[in-house]
Chains A and B, each alone.
Chain A
């Protein structure tokens, strides 16, 4: 069966510091991968998606970036965090033919 992992689970970072969030998927090959952000009390906003290694599409301009160095690894990064980057970050995977996205446990990020 497929599983998706995210770490860290919780992160508190100062403004201006770098960020690296990692997501890995097990039990499937060549998944579509997605990064979402959920601000407190709001819906989910798609940040990036990837259909293959090295292929990243950005949905929202911001100071975040994403990379996919391996088939089942998806990384969200920032060189300098802003207060507005605080939120709940969710990674998801899907198989294109089915389209259903399955989500990881998420990372809660607080930028102070």
Chain B
């Protein structure tokens, strides 16, 4: 069975600090997808990134960066120079895929990390 673990329940930082959110996953699939979502206080989940298991290149998007390491089954998310607007719950998720690499779309979510950025 698939499992996603976000060991950090809550993180509190001061604005401009860098912060890393950890995500460890378990799956028997050789082909899978990993995601990060942000849930601001309004409640709607906002898609941040999708990474497939074939591609271990790290990715940077503005202040956000992601470190995917298959050897340790981790997909960590770093926010550089955090801002108050980054305060939210962040979810890591894992998706099943068939042998052709097409995702069925069923997501297994971690329990989320509550990030609070203080001014």
A residues with a Cβ closer than 8 A to B are 32, 34, 42-44, 46, 49, 59, 88, 90, 92, 94, 96-106, 108
**B111:A99 contact, CB within 8 angstroms:** no
**A100:B112 contact, CB within 8 angstroms:** no
Measured in the bound complex, the distance between the Cα atoms of B110 and A17 in whole Å is 32
16 A-B residue pairings within 8 Å (CB atoms)? A32-B104, A42-B112, A43-B109, A43-B112, A46-B106, A59-B106, A88-B43, A90-B43, A90-B45, A96-B102, A96-B103, A96-B104, A96-B105, A101-B47, A105-B42, A106-B44
**B110:A43 contact, CB within 8 angstroms:** yes
User: Quick check: is B64 within 8 A (CB to CB) of the other chain?
Assistant: no
**B111:A105 contact, CB within 8 angstroms:** no
A73 to chain B, nearest CB (A): 18
In the complex, residue of chain A having the shortest beta-carbon distance to the beta carbon of B9: A41
**Main SS of chain B's interface residues?**
strand
Measured in the bound complex, the distance between the Cα atoms of B107 and A98 in whole Å is 13
What's the A-B contact tally at a CB cutoff of 8 Å?
63
**B91:A43 contact, CB within 8 angstroms:** yes
In the complex, residue of chain B having the shortest beta-carbon distance to the beta carbon of A104: B44
In the complex, residue of chain A having the shortest beta-carbon distance to the beta carbon of B42: A105
B22 to chain A, nearest CB (A): 15
User: Quick check: is B95 within 8 A (CB to CB) of the other chain?
Assistant: yes
Q: A94-B105, A106-B44 are in contact. Are A100 and B111 (CB under 8 A)?
A: no
B116 to chain A, nearest CB (A): 14
In the complex, residue of chain A having the shortest beta-carbon distance to the beta carbon of B44: A105
**A34:B105 contact, CB within 8 angstroms:** yes
User: Quick check: is B33 within 8 A (CB to CB) of the other chain?
Assistant: yes
Q: Which residues of A contact B103 (CB under 8 A)?
A: 94, 96, 98-99
The interface centre, meaning the residue of A32, A103, A104, A105 with most chain B CB atoms within 10 A of its CB, is A103
User: Quick check: is B50 within 8 A (CB to CB) of the other chain?
Assistant: yes
State which of A46, A59, A99, A105 has its C-beta within 8 Å of the C-beta of B33.
Answer: A99
The 5 closest A-B pairs by CB, nearest first: A99-B103, A103-B45, A94-B105, A43-B111, A44-B109
Measured in the bound complex, the distance between the Cα atoms of B46 and A2 in whole Å is 14
Q: Which residues of B contact A94 (CB under 8 A)?
A: 103, 105
